[in-house]
Amino acid sequence: MVGEGPRVDAEGGATCPSSSCAAGHLLLGIVLPDGTVAALHPPLPVSTEFVERAAAPGLRPPEARFRFAGPCIESACSQWVEGRCSVGDAVAGLGRAERAVDDALPPPPCAVRPTCRWWAQGGADACRICPRIVHTTKASAPA
């Protein structure tokens, strides 16, 4: 199924698999101490209460501790370059390099793959690396 484009989500667009912590988004996973993401199966809807608690003062940003998915906002995103997600392209490039070493490495299970922007652009190459991508790595919450 590599190369199969995304199906549309309920709002008619693709899903960003590295979105911000916002009500209505999905909690895809938890960032582990080694920097990888442990996926939640199924992902959980993010509530306003979760956003408030996750963004409490003194904590690292939620995007440094969790992985979220939300609607791909395309040209409204700073990562959108020449009609594509530049992060998705970079992630797929890393996946291609890894595939050159181990072509048998399958993509991990994923709840958002049918609508995922990165999958649409890079297929399994993007999926192989996805569990190692963290939105934010800041050590402390912004002032």
Please tell me the distance from the alpha carbon of residue 28 to that of residue 112, in angstroms, as a whole number: 9
23 φ/ψ sector (left φ>0, alpha ψ -120 to 50, else beta) = beta
Average pLDDT of the segment spanning 70-99: 93
Mean pLDDT, the chain, integer: 87
**pLDDT of res. 34:** 93
The domain ranges of the chain are: 15-132
The pTM of the full predicted model, rounded to 2 decimals, is 0.83
* Cα 69-111-93 angle, rounded to 5 deg: 70
Is the confidence at residue 143, as pLDDT, over 50? no
